[in-house]
Structure 1
Amino acid sequence: MTSGEGMRMTLLTPIQRWDYAFSERCLCHRFNGQVAQISRAVSHTGDGHLYVLFALLIVWLDPVQGTDVLTTGLWAFALELPIYLLLKNSVKRARPSTLPCFIQPSDQYSLPSGHTAAAFVMASLLTSFYPDTAWFIWPWAVAIGLSRVLLGVHYITDIVAGVALGWACFAVVSG
């Protein structure tokens, strides 16, 4: 280990401890199975298949600005996905492994949360074109992120990083 890696580990240790403690509190209780069932359903809404359905519906139902919504969304996701993959495969933060896990994650790394990043791209997109949806869309995006912690596949800082990534990618594209 180089001195830079040692310093980074020292600086991140309190955050990692807090992350673990937060996840432990979320996952190690007698209702975790019931919470996981709800979290699995919520998380599933952020798997991506609904995004395609939303895009098709918006183009069909809103001929005035539907194409703009679709184009902006495609650009935002085209920016978000490679940055997400680069971060995930560069940081290589291990997923929680000593805590209960209620789903099989698609890969071994946790930072950032791709579900959360995508949900925040989608929430930013929809509320920028349709502000009246904010009452539902923002809580849904937050629920996606929290569901990933409650399923045992992410730490809360992975979620925060996903939020930042989603917002930043939308901000760059809508700029």
Structure 2
Amino acid sequence: MKTKSLALTGLTILLASTLVACSGGNESSSKSDTADKTVKVKKKASTYFKDNKLVTKDYDIDITQTKVIQVGETGNEYGEKPVLAFWFKVHNKKAKDLDPNGAWISIFKAIQDNNKDSVNELDVGSLPDDRFLDSQSEEIKVGGTVEMAVSYELDDTTTPVKLTAENIVTGKSLGSMTYKLN
């Protein structure tokens, strides 16, 4: 009986010291001579925009081409300003009611920093590619990928454009890229 009691007491002490060690203790506890072997693994962001690719939990957008289109040229026949056009693919991972135009407009904004006093967010221009006239607002099936294009009206053709992806719910920036115009 005494042996069982000693074994139980020893086991209780072992468990208690293990719990204290696992909890990290408090600041007043003494440090061990052994170096802390904790390795912090940096978790890769699940939502980001870099290298012409936006990744979210619901869908991805790959920018495949950019081009400045002057007034009167194909893709900007009716505009009054030159535009910066983006061609892209939207891959629907699991979003409901996702269309290519809405996917882009809901997350991206374009800034041309050519005003010393205010932020110059560019206006969306006309559709720069007639191939997408009928498909720009069609729903993308889960697992499907659809191509699209969008343009922004430029205030000048020398100042670079910064394209920023932002979570519209939290306002958190997901990343940005700067596009030179010449």
Normalised to the residue count of structure 1, the TM-score between the two structures is: 0.23
Greater RCO, 1 or 2 (C-alpha within 8 Å, sep 6+): 1
More helix by share: 1
More strand by share: 2
- Structure 1 or 2, whichever has the larger Rg, is 2
